[in-house]
Amino acid sequence: MGYKFSKDEMAKIFAKLAQDYDVFAPVVKKGDGTFSDVDVVRYDQVTSLDEIEFNKKSDYSFKEALLPINETLFYFTEDETTVPKGPEKKRLIFLRSCDIHAVKRLDQIYLDNKFEDFYYKRTREMVRFVLMGCPNTCENGFCASMGTNETNQYDLYIKVNGDNAFVDVKNDEFTETFKNGALEDVKPDFVKENKVKVTLPKNITKETMSSELFKEYGSRCINCGRCNFVCPTCTCFSMQDIFYKDNEKVGERRRVWASCQVDGYTEIAGGHGFRNDNSDRMRFKVMHKIHDFEQRFGYQMCVGCGRCDDVCPEYISYSTLINKLAKECE
Amino acid sequence: MKNEYIPQLSEIKEVIKHTDLEYTFRMAFDGEVKPGQFFEISIPKYGEAPISVSGIADGLVDFTIRRVGKVTNEVFENYVGDKLFIRGPYGNGFDIENYKGKEIVIIGGGTGVSPMRGVIQHFAANPQDAVSTTVIAGFKSPEDVLFKADFEEWSKTINVIKTVDNAPEGYEGPVGMVTKYIPDLKFKDIENAVFICVGPPIMIKFTIMEIQKLGIKDEQIWTSYERKMCCGLGKCGHCKMGDKYVCLDGPVFNYTEAKELFD
Ligand SMILES: Cc1cc2nc3c(=O)[nH]c(=O)nc-3n(C[C@H](O)[C@H](O)[C@H](O)COP(=O)(O)OP(=O)(O)OC[C@H]3O[C@@H](n4cnc5c(N)ncnc54)[C@H](O)[C@@H]3O)c2cc1C
Ligand code: SF4
Ligand code: SF4
Ligand code: FES
């Protein structure tokens, strides 16, 4: 059902929603972007509508709200473990179409790659998604090429336009909250075309794996891992045990985001590593995004949000690399 | 739902010292386990390490551990009666059925023997389950030999070649790499042969090259891969090769699959 409100009415409803739900949305953080004094748009908990950045694409994806950068799995003493409580309130996450498609990829790994992940699942069950429309294409995104530019997999759609706000309610859980609005036909804004267009390589073979392109792009990479950390579909983590200074018998086991571009990712005892060369790491990342995942699960992993291109300090363009690879594979 | 990350305390029932660096820890465990599967063994504060099952008995599992770093060093500080945290078993393991009625050759290097020990034990105890069983196990030097007592026991019912890369003068017994013994293998029906080969990547590579020279087809060869693993659950991503997760789809692979996997 679609409704129209004044922006003020919407702000009031929102404030009430924020009491019942923990709301996570992109907000502008002053001066801690890639190039230090540039603002960065990142997810955080908000309590009012004004805090939400509706226009600019978030530099980091929503995934922090589902998969914390570091997450305590359990506290331990020498012979006991205690699992921390999960979220007590339901969560609302504001995100765009490409990112809603990314949720499906996270679910795939954390709920449906043989084992179910206890921590992800208990948070995921509490989450409702609020779609933010895209009236215009973002800078480096190529959602239309990846078929992620449209979605109907949202619980709410909210658009603020001047003094008005529009809502489309898909989940009955919210019908009561919005029922006093003026009925209106509300259709989300979806982009049809991006500036960046990507053609995926067809006929990927063993020869593709040794393409010079991976050398060329890999040699510029400084292994900072940012392309993985901003990606809404990257899911890797490492385990970490920490103990407390004042009582060494007590501590916690955590999982922490990991990056396949950073040193140590494949390292095993004795200092052996499997992809010591940057060209191999670049190939590994790109192949996962546009080939391996698809081979395993039947659809592409990359949703074309373009964040990896936005963030790379070496101006490595993943989308350009894919297009060149597609040409090579013709 | 089950929280797979939570380990259980398990008591050390016995410690068997093979070398200064390699001990077998016999631990309490109730549940289904297959040879070739692995557990995550942990000590709070030090972390977790994936370790293969090297033996299975009623209410017990063996782990043969080489001390190489943080976690494994700390494991060696524990004795009978102490407890370690374990979770598992994970991975596919070896399916004994694939080898029954065959002419089996099992080739292992160093700790690579551990994951196959359960398979060897089965055919040593039930030699009639196979047409023949041959074990070729290679170790660096006589001091590095693992499972000494086992080799003696096994050689009563199956063919055992226990070799060392280098030995001091006067050493009695085979000397040389495992690959040296492959050309001499004899088969009644080469189509009915199966090979299982586990060890360091470089040993696997040369062993398989040698096996292929005999005219053995890829589908007759099995191997087990070791990769960095943080979860064992298909989540952390570290063990991924191509479209496979070594922790879920492996660590045991038929060579038709293994040869397609890229790091
Ligand atoms: C499926 C599988 C089965 C294994 N079976 C055995 C076995 O039966 N006996 C045995 O002694 N060892 C085995 N290993 C290797 C063993 O896991 C490593 O030696 C151990 O993790 C080293 O941990 P550490 O903390 O003592 O060493 P460190 O070098 O201090 O560890 C550093 C980090 O690297 C990781 N790491 C190091 N080596 C490996 C590795 N090979 N695989 C995965 N992660 C690693 C550790 O988790 C740790 O985070 C196996 C590995 C795998 C993947
Ligand atoms: S690989 Fe790049 S474009 Fe694709 S989903 Fe990840 S961050 Fe977005
Ligand atoms: S962001 Fe760029 S430099 Fe950093 S790891 Fe990714 S590709 Fe390499
Ligand atoms: S060990 Fe974590 S995905 Fe395989």
Ligand nearest to the CA of B239: 4
Whether B104 is in the pocket of ligand 1, judged by its Cβ within 6 Å, is: no
Average pLDDT, stretch A277-293?
93
Q: How confident is the model at residue B169 (pLDDT cuts 50, 70, 90)?
A: confident
Structural domain that includes position A149: 2-328
CA distance B149 to A184: 81
The pLDDT of residue A276: 82
Chain B segment 211-230 residues within 8 A of A by beta carbon are: 226-228, 230
Are the CB atoms for B234 and B247 separated by under 8 Å?
Answer: yes
Average pLDDT, stretch A277-285?
91
For A223, the token pair is: 């292994």
Dihedral pair phi/psi, residue A268, rounded to 5° = -120, 175
pLDDT surpassing 90 at residue B251: yes
CA distance A214 to A284: 9
Whether A306 is in the pocket of ligand 2, judged by its Cβ within 6 Å, is: yes
Average pLDDT, stretch A169-192?
95
Q: How confident is the model at residue B30 (pLDDT cuts 50, 70, 90)?
A: very high
A116 touches chain B (CB under 8 A): yes
pLDDT surpassing 90 at residue A273: no
pLDDT surpassing 60 at residue B255: yes
Q: Please tell me the CATH code under which domain B8-90 is placed.
A: 2.40.30.10
Q: How many structural domains does chain A have?
A: 1
B96-224 is classed in which CATH architecture?
3-Layer(aba) Sandwich (3.40)
Q: Do A292 and B242 touch (CB under 8 A)?
A: yes
pLDDT surpassing 90 at residue A85: yes
pLDDT surpassing 70 at residue A33: no
Average pLDDT, stretch A239-257?
89
Of residues A32 and A252, the one with the higher pLDDT is A252
Our CA dihedral for A138, A141, A144, A146, rounded to 10 degrees, sits at: -160
Mutation pick for ligand 1 pocket among B17, B228, B230, B246 (CB with most ligand atoms within 8 Å): B228
What whole-number percentage of chain A has pLDDT above 70? 97
Question: A268: which DSSP letter?
Answer: B
Whether A222 is in the pocket of ligand 3, judged by its Cβ within 6 Å, is: yes
CA distance B75 to A234: 33
pTM of the model: 0.94
Q: Do B44 and A243 touch (CB under 8 A)?
A: yes
Q: Show me where the domains of chain B are located.
A: 8-90, 96-224
DSSP code per residue over B115-144: HHHHHHHHHHH-GGGSSEEEEEEEESSGGG
Tens digit of pLDDT for each residue in B157-166?
A: 999 999 999 9
Query: Please, which residues bridge with residue A156 across strands?
Result: A130, A169
What whole-number percentage of chain B has pLDDT above 90? 91
Whether A282 is in the pocket of ligand 3, judged by its Cβ within 6 Å, is: no
The pLDDT of residue A270: 62
Average pLDDT, stretch B168-185?
91
Of A67, A37, A69, A39, which Cα lies nearest the Cα of A53?
Answer: A39
Of A60, A190, A58, A188, which Cα lies nearest the Cα of A137?
Answer: A190
A117 contacts in chain B (CB < 8 Å): 4, 233, 235
The pLDDT of residue B1: 84
Average pLDDT, stretch B8-15?
96
Q: Do A255 and B240 touch (CB under 8 A)?
A: no
Question: A262: which DSSP letter?
Answer: S
Query: Please, which residues bridge with residue B106 across strands?
Result: B135, B196
Ligand 2 midpoint to CA A175 (Å) = 34
CA distance B216 to B12: 42
pLDDT surpassing 70 at residue A89: yes
Dihedral pair phi/psi, residue B199, rounded to 5° = 175, -165
Are the CB atoms for A101 and A148 separated by under 8 Å?
Answer: yes
**Lowest-confidence range among A164-173, A268-277, B217-226?**
A268-277
| Residues making up chain A, counted from first to last | 330
Torsion sign, CA atoms B99, B101, B105, B109: positive
Q: Is A185 left (phi over 0), alpha (psi -120 to 50) or beta?
A: beta
Q: How confident is the model at residue A32 (pLDDT cuts 50, 70, 90)?
A: low
Please state whether the peptide bond connecting residue B89 to the residue before it is cis, i.e. omega within 30 degrees of 0: yes
Torsion sign, CA atoms B76, B79, B85, B90: positive
Torsion sign, CA atoms A293, A297, A299, A303: negative
The pLDDT of residue A243: 85
Chain A segment 194-253 residues within 8 A of B by beta carbon are: 209, 235-243, 248, 251, 253
Which residue does chain A place closest to B247, by CA atoms? A114
CA distance B238 to B40: 15
Q: How confident is the model at residue A78 (pLDDT cuts 50, 70, 90)?
A: confident
CA distance A143 to A194: 7
B236 contacts in chain A (CB < 8 Å): 236-239, 255, 258
The pLDDT of residue A274: 83
ipTM field = 0.93
Mutation pick for ligand 2 pocket among A235, A285, A289 (CB with most ligand atoms within 8 Å): A289
pLDDT surpassing 90 at residue A36: no
Which residue does chain A place closest to B47, by CA atoms? A241
The pLDDT of residue A35: 57
Chain mean pLDDT for chain B? 94
b/e code B241-254 from CB counts within 10 Å (16+ = b): bbbbbbbbbbbbbe
The pLDDT of residue A38: 78
Ligand 2 midpoint to CA B134 (Å) = 50
Ligand nearest to the CA of B245: 4
The pLDDT of residue A244: 83
pLDDT surpassing 80 at residue A272: no
The pLDDT of residue A157: 97
DSSP code per residue over A66-86: TS-SEEEEEEE-SS-EEPPP-
Tens digit of pLDDT for each residue in A225-246?
A: 999 999 999 999 999 999 888 8
Ligand nearest to the CA of A261: 3
Average pLDDT, stretch A296-317?
96
Average pLDDT, stretch A81-104?
96
CA distances from A117 to A41, A71, A123, B88 (A): 28, 13, 10, 15
